[in-house]
Amino acid sequence: MNTPAQPLTDAQRRQLAARIAERKELLLGEIRQVSHRSQHDLDVDQISRSGQIGHAAAIALRQGIAEAEILRDIEEVRDIVAAEQRLESSQYGECIDCGRNIRFARLDAYPTAKRCYQCQVEHEQRRVA
């Protein structure tokens, strides 16, 4: 793994860009669906006043899960938008820390990767410390 990563070919770049766009559309659809579903749950305050506390707790739990799902999906969409911006500026596939090429295998597994493997390991170690 000491050999430098090769720059992406145009075909690889197109393939990854298509996967990124597809994932973005899927996530935006999920955000809309979860948001729509949670808006149609019964109002927790109304249920609480009617004495159905167990039901209110179940709805509150579902709404909390829905909110967590939406926040997770929004974070991934942000990563996708950043990857799209790197694609447009021809910086996609370059590590944001060291500037070296990111291996295609890493991008194939994680198309929004912004760091090469080594820099990502170092980044995560700094966050833990």
* C-alpha closest to that of 96 among 115, 77, 113: 115
* C-alpha closest to that of 17 among 87, 82, 74: 87
pLDDT of residue 46 exceeding 70, the answer is no
Mean pLDDT for 47-61 is 65
* Domain annotation covers residue 99: no
pLDDT of residue 1 exceeding 70, the answer is no
pLDDT of residue 94 exceeding 90, the answer is yes
Range of the domain at 26: 10-93
Residue 61: its pLDDT value, please? 81
What sign results for the dihedral spanned by CA atoms 88, 89, 93, 97? negative
pLDDT of residue 40 exceeding 80, the answer is no
* Domain annotation covers residue 41: yes
pLDDT of residue 18 exceeding 60, the answer is yes
* Domain annotation covers residue 71: yes
How many other β-carbons are positioned within 10 Å of the β-carbon of residue 115? 19
The total number of structural domains that make up the chain: 1
Alpha helices for 1-129 (secondary structure H): 10-39, 44-49, 53-88, 104-109, 117-128
* Domain annotation covers residue 68: yes
* Domain annotation covers residue 98: no
pLDDT of residue 42 exceeding 50, the answer is no
* Domain annotation covers residue 23: yes
* Domain annotation covers residue 116: no
* Domain annotation covers residue 111: no
Please, what is the average pLDDT of the chain? 88
